[in-house]
Amino acid sequence: MRIVYKLFYAIIPRFSANKEINLKQWDLFGPLFFTIFLSYFLNVSKDTEQMSKTFIIVFCLMWLGGSIVTINTILLGSHITLFQSLSILGYYIFPILLASMINYFKSYFKFGIKVAIAFIAYIWCCFSSVSFMSDVLGQEKKGLGLFPIFLFYFAFTCYLLL
């Protein structure tokens, strides 16, 4: 049930109540499932050798990239833990997972439509992250905290288009 609640918070962050509770009660099951499903939907049309490479890239990008974003946030003066940040960043990747599922099930889309879907997913992730960063950092450091997060989601979006 906690995964569904946090997923709803990631989908509609501005309208969710109890943001502090959501940040303090971290879990890594949802981000792990999203990482596995994302790597699956990015792998389906590839051969066996590329499947393992795709899984490794997605997994490392999620967990190492999320760790780097968290370290940056901590260095900017936040009091968030590594697992809290990885949990929230992992739930906010859900729009990119949706975009990969749409691109998989509608594989006959032209490249322009796939780019549009990926761009909408990227904007959705960034919009959700702005809500997360405003709670964690002050207004004066929000831009410094958001830039690595935007790059983090941009890397996933670019990998989605490959």
* In the chain, domain spans: 18-161
At 148 the pLDDT is: 92
For 131-158, what is each residue's pLDDT tens digit? 777 778 877 888 888 899 999 999 999 9
At 106 the pLDDT is: 75
| 142, HSE (Cβ side, Cα atoms, 13 Å) | 12
Q: How far is CA 56 from CA 14, 63, 88, 114, in A?
A: 33, 11, 21, 23
CA distance 70 to 59: 16
How many other C-beta atoms can be found within 10 angstroms of the C-beta atom of residue 81?
Answer: 14
At 94 the pLDDT is: 92
What percent helix, strand, coil does the chain show, rounded to 5?
A: 80, 0, 20
- Angle (CA) 153-100-4 rounded to 5° is 80
CA distance 142 to 150: 12
Has residue 127 got a pLDDT over 70?
yes
- pLDDT, averaged across the chain: 84
Alpha helices in 76-110 (DSSP H): 82-91, 94-105
At 1 the pLDDT is: 64
Q: How confident is residue 22, by pLDDT bands cut at 50, 70 and 90?
A: low
Buried b (16+ CB within 10 A) or exposed e, 30-62: bbeebbeebbbbbbeeeeeeebeebbebbeebb
| Token reading at 6 | 């946090």
